[in-house]
Structure 1
Amino acid sequence: MDRRTFLAGSLGVSLVPFMSRLAFAAGKPVTWWYESAAPAQQEAIAKVLVGGFNAAHPDYSLTVDYRGSELDKQMRVALLSGNGPDVVYTAGPSYVAPMARAGQLLALDDYAEKLGWNKRILPVFLEMGKYDGKLYAVPKTYETLGLFYNKAVLEKNGWKAPTTLAEMEALADEALKAKLVPFASGNAGWRGNNEHYVTIAFNSIAGPENVYKALKGEIPWTAEPFVAAINKLNDWWQKGYFGPDYFSLETEQFFAQMAAGKSPMLPSGTWHFQYIQSYFKDNADQCGFVGFPSADGLGAPVYALGVGSTLSIAAASQNPDGAAAAIDYVFSPEFYGAMNSVWQGEWNTPLEDLSMVKISDTVPALYAETMKTLADAVGDNKYGYTSWTFLPPATDTQLINGIEEVWLGRSTVADYLAQLDATFQQEKAEGKVPAVPAR
Structure 2
Amino acid sequence: MERRLFIKTAIALMAGTALTGAALAAGPITWWYETATPEQQGVITRNIIEPFNAAHPDDSLSIDYRGAQLDNQMRVALLSGTGPDIVYTAGPSYVAPMAQAGQLLPLDDYAEQFGWNERILPVFLEMGRYNGQLYAVPKTYETLGLFYNATLLEEHGWTPPTSIDELEALADAMLAENIVPFSSGNALWRPTNEHYVSLALNAIAGPENVYKALNGEIPWTSEPFAAAITRLNEWWQKGYFGPNYFSLNGEQQVAELAAGRAGMMPSGTWQFQHIETYFPPANAEAGFVGFPSTEDVGEPVFPLGVGSTFSVAATSQNPDGAAAAIDFIFSDETYTAMNTEWQGEWNTPLSDLSGITLGDDVLPLYTEAMQTLAQSVAQDEYGYTTWTFLPPATNSFMVSGIEEVWLGRSTVEQYLAQWDATFQQEMAEGKVPAIPAR
TM-score (norm 2): 0.93
Structure 2 portions without partners, runs of 5+: 8-25
Alignment-derived partner of residue 338 in structure 1: 337
Q: 1:244-296, CA deviations, whole angstroms, 9 ceiling, x for partnerless residues?
A: 11111111222110010111100010000010111113678711111101110
Aligned length: 419
Summarize the Cα distance change of 1:411–1:107 in structure 2 as closer, same or farther, 3 Å threshold: same
Q: Contact (CA 8 Å) 1:284, 1:364: kept in 2 or not?
A: no
Give CA deviations for 1:404-431 in whole Å, capped at 9, x if unaligned. Answer: 1111111111111111101111111111
Counterpart of 2:33 in structure 1 is 34
- Map 1:46-195; keep pairs closer than 5 Å: 46-195=45-194
Amino acid at match of 1:257: E
Q: Cα gap change, 1:284/1:352 in structure 2, threshold over 3 Å: closer, same or farther? A: farther
Question: Structure 2: how far apart are the matches of 1:52 and 1:296?
Answer: 50
**C-alpha distance after superposition, 1:135-180 (max 9, x if no partner):** 0000001110000000110000000111111111111010011110
Q: Which amino acid aligns with 2:88?
A: Y
Question: Is 2:4–2:378's contact at 8 Å kept on the other side of the alignment?
Answer: no
What residue number does 2:293 align with?
A: 294
1:214 and 1:221 in contact (8 A); partners too: yes
Cα pair 1:31 1:63 within 8 Å, conserved? yes
Contact 2:52 2:325 in 1 (8 A): yes
Letter in 2 for 1:31: T
- Secondary structure of the 1:32 match is strand
Structure 1 residue matching 2:253: 3-state secondary structure? helix
Cα 1:46–1:29 shift into 2, 3 Å: same
SS at match of 1:352: coil
Give the C-alpha shift of residue 238 in structure 1: 0.9
Per the alignment, residue 210 of structure 2 pairs with: 211
Contact 2:181 2:262 in 1 (8 A): yes
Q: What displacement does 1:114 show?
A: 1.1
Contact 1:30 1:60 in 2 (8 A): yes
What CA distance in whole angstroms lies between the structure 2 residues aligned with 1:4 and 1:187?
Answer: 39
Question: Structure 1, residues 75-126: CA drift from partner, whole Å, max 9, x if none?
Answer: 1222222221111100111111111111111100011011000001010100
Question: Which sections of structure 1, spanning at least 5 residues, go unmatched?
Answer: 6-26
> In 2, Cα distance between the equivalents of 1:335 and 1:357?
10
Match of 1:314 in 2: 313
SS state at 1:401 partner: helix
Q: Distance in 2 between matches of 1:361 and 1:418?
A: 50
**Structure 1 residues 110, 198: closer, same or farther in 2, change over 3 A?**
same
The corresponding residue for 1:383 is: 382
Provide the residue aligned with 1:415 in structure 2. Answer: 414
Secondary structure of the 1:107 match is coil
Task: Report what 1:20 is aligned to.
Answer: none
Instruction: Give the conservation status (yes or no) of the 8 Å contact 2:338–2:346.
Output: yes
Q: Secondary structure at the match of 1:358?
A: coil
Structure 1 distance, partners of 2:93, 2:429, is 13
- In structure 2, the CA distance between the partners of 1:282 and 1:336, relative to structure 1 (3 Å rule), is farther
Residues 335 and 188 of structure 1: is their aligned pair in 2 closer, same or farther, counting only changes over 3 Å? Answer: same
- CA apart distance, 1:3: 6.8
Is the Cα contact below 8 Å between 1:392 and 1:424 reproduced in 2?
Answer: yes
Matched, 1:352 2:368: no
Q: Distance in 2 between matches of 1:375 and 1:283?
A: 31
DSSP 3-state at the match of 1:29 = strand
CA distance in 1, matches of 2:388, 2:342: 22
Identity of matched residues, % = 67
Q: Which residue does 1:8 correspond to in 2?
A: none
The letter for the 2-side match of 1:102 is A
Contact 2:203 2:292 in 1 (8 A): yes
Q: Work out whether residues 259 and 282 of structure 2, in 8 Å CA contact, stay in contact via their aligned partners in 1.
A: no
Q: Which residue of 2 aligns with 1:11?
A: none
2: CA distance, partners of 1:59 / 1:337: 26
1:372 Cα deviation (Å)? 0.9
Equivalents in 1 of 2:397, 2:81: separation in Å? 30
Q: Measure, in 2, the Cα distance between the counterparts of 1:368 and 1:253.
A: 23
Instruction: Pick closer, same or farther for the CA change 1:284–1:297 going to 2, 3 Å.
Output: farther
- Do 2:339 and 2:358's aligned partners in 1 also have CA atoms closer than 8 Å? yes
TM-score of the superposed pair, with normalisation by structure 1 = 0.93
1:15 corresponding residue in structure 2: none
Whether contact under 8 Å (2:257, 2:265) holds in the other structure is yes
CA distance in 2, matches of 1:285, 1:384: 30
Quote the Cα distance in structure 1 between the aligned partners of 2:194 and 2:383. 14
* Closer, same or farther: CA 3–314 of 1 in aligned 2, 3 Å: closer
Matched residues in 1 for 2:408 and 2:281: separation?
43
Matched position secondary structure for 1:163: coil
Q: In the alignment, is the contact (CA less than 8 A) between 2:151 and 2:284 conserved in 1?
A: no
- In 1: Cα distance, 2:190 partner to 2:88 partner: 21
> Contact 1:4–1:372 (CA<8 Å) still a contact in 2?
no
| 8 Å CA contact 1:205, 1:295 repeated in 2 | yes
The aligned residue for residue 257 of structure 1 is: 256
**Maintained 8 Å contact 1:148/1:288:** yes
- Mean Cα deviation higher: 315-324 or 48-57: 48-57
Moved more, 243-252 or 228-237: 243-252
